[in-house]
Structure formats: C-alpha cells, structure tokens
C-alpha cells in the first residue's frame, strides 16, 4: 500500500507497513541499559511527586527502560499529529467549498508523506502500537475516528482492515486506569514531564492521570514484554534447528 489518503493519518500509512522488529534489551548490569552504543543511567532513588517504582526484579528494570525508549520515540509524532490536526481544523473552517477542502487536505497529506514517511517506516510494531494509543491521548479521538470524520467511514474501514494485517488497530484507545501498557506509557510520560525529558503538551483526552498513577502505588508489570521476547527466542531456536 503506497499511501493512505488521510490528513494527518499519513502517520499511519508508514506505521502500518513498518517491518522493523523489536529487539531485546541488552542487559549489561544493574544500573545501565546499553543499546546501539547509547547508555542510559537508571535513577533508582528517584525523587518525585509520584510513587517510587516497585519492580518485581532487576530484570524488570531493563524491560521498563526498554519500553521507555519506545514511548520517547513515538511521543513526538503524537504531539505533531495533534498540532497538525488542530491547525487543519482551523484552516478548514475558513474554506467554504467542499472541493477546496479536499484539495487542501491532499496538499497537507502530500507534505507530511514527503517529510515523515521515511522516518516512520523505521518504527517497530511496539512503537507503532504506542503511537496509535498516544494519538488518542493527544487528539482526544482514535485514529479511526479522525479518518472517519475528516475523510469517510469507508476509508477508515479499509485503512483499519489493512492495519489489522500487521496486528495494529486504528481503533486503539488509551486508558491507563484499566490497561497495563497504557499505565506504563502514562507513568513514563508523567515522570518525563517532571524531569523535563519530554516537552509537555496537554492531552485532549481528559483524565486525572496523576491520580491514576498514584493509585497504582508505583507497581510495574512488564510480563507482557518478557513473554513477547520469550516467544521470539523460541521461534529463532526453531529456525536455527531447521538449518
């Protein structure tokens, strides 16, 4: 699929066809995570208004910081998507002709494709899934609903069908109160805001995020990712045996 006709949803045109695999964290010692030559110091004695992290094991710390890198990579695109769609809505209110609106939408789409597609194709499936969740957080609507509103329900249906082939869903919602992965994303975001590691942008999906994090008392569950990599290792072992 060469392109998906949607305003800012050009993000998903590259996201859906991303083929980059998630790679296992490189465990070096109890205090550092090193990947591709980067070293990240883990501040175990964190001073914050949020509850101190409660990890089940030292290995879990590495998985948390592995996932943190995923969130950090996806978040700027979600922020940009929110800004672009806000700007688009403002511009569209000034255009009365439906034909001119469609033309303007296509111009925006082509610009975004040119500027972002190459970079977004490098996202892993996990990063793509996180981005879809963050789109809901930052815009207040799922990617599916945005496409349906700005293009058509038919296009939204087919784009989502294509996304499903890659185990992604444009209907992905964000709810850190009930979904563990969303909770991890929110924990990472709120701590990054406090440390000024990420630029703050107010979420259009209104929730008391700090209260949600406080209620969990700092508990961190990364079992989903441990299982994911365990399955990858098993598949790799089976392939090696066949050779």
What span, in angstroms and rounded, lies between the C-alpha atoms of 124 and 21? Answer: 5
If one compares 220 and 152, the residue with the highest pLDDT of the two is 220
| Predicted pLDDT of residue 147 | 75
| Predicted pLDDT of residue 120 | 74
Res. 218: pLDDT tops 80: yes
Which residues lie closer than 8 Å to 199 by C-beta, 6 or more apart? 76, 79
Res. 230: pLDDT tops 80: yes
Res. 108: pLDDT tops 90: no
pLDDT tens column, 30-54: 444 444 545 555 555 444 579 999 9
Residue 41 has phi, psi (to 5 degrees) of: -80, 130
| Predicted pLDDT of residue 70 | 96
Which residues lie closer than 8 Å to 106 by C-beta, 6 or more apart? 5
Res. 56: pLDDT tops 60: yes
pLDDT band at 153 (very low <50, low <70, confident <90, very high): low
Average pLDDT, the chain: 80
Q: Which of 108-112, 153-157, 203-207 is predicted most confidently?
A: 203-207
- Mean pLDDT value of segment 132-148: 89
| Predicted pLDDT of residue 238 | 86
- Domain ranges in the chain are 10-235
Specify the range with the lowest mean pLDDT, choosing from 21-30, 119-128, 178-187, 228-237. 21-30
Which residues lie closer than 8 Å to 215 by C-beta, 6 or more apart? none
pLDDT band at 115 (very low <50, low <70, confident <90, very high): low
pLDDT tens column, 157-189: 666 676 676 778 888 999 999 999 999 999 999
| Predicted pLDDT of residue 23 | 77
- Mean pLDDT value of segment 98-111: 75
If one compares 117 and 77, the residue with the highest pLDDT of the two is 77
| Predicted pLDDT of residue 127 | 93
């Amino acid at each position: 699929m060469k392109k998906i006709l949607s305003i800012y949803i050009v993000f998903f045109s590259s996201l859906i066809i991303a083929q980059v695999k998630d790679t296992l964290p490189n465990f070096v010692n109890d205090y550092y995570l090193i990947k591709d030559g980067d070293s990240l110091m883990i501040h175990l004695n964190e001073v914050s208004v949020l509850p101190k992290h409660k990890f089940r094991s030292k290995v879990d710390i590495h998985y948390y910081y592995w996932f943190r890198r995923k969130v950090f990579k996806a978040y700027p695109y979600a922020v940009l998507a929110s800004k672009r769609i806000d700007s688009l809505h403002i511009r569209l209110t000034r255009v009365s002709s439906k034909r001119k609106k469609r033309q303007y939408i296509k111009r925006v789409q082509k610009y975004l494709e040119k500027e972002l597609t190459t970079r977004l194709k490098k996202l892993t499936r996990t990063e793509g899934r996180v981005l879809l969740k963050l789109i809901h957080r930052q815009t207040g609507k799922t990617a599916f609903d945005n496409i349906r509103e700005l293009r058509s329900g038919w296009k939204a249906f087919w784009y989502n069908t294509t996304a499903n082939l890659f185990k992604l869903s444009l209907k992905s919602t964000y709810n850190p109160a009930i979904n563990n992965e969303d909770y991890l994303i929110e924990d990472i975001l709120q701590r990054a805001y406090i440390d000024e590691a990420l630029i703050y942008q107010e979420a259009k999906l209104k929730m008391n995020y700090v209260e949600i994090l406080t209620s969990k008392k700092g508990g961190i569950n990364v079992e989903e990712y441990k299982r994911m990599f365990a399955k990858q290792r098993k598949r790799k072992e089976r392939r090696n045996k066949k050779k």
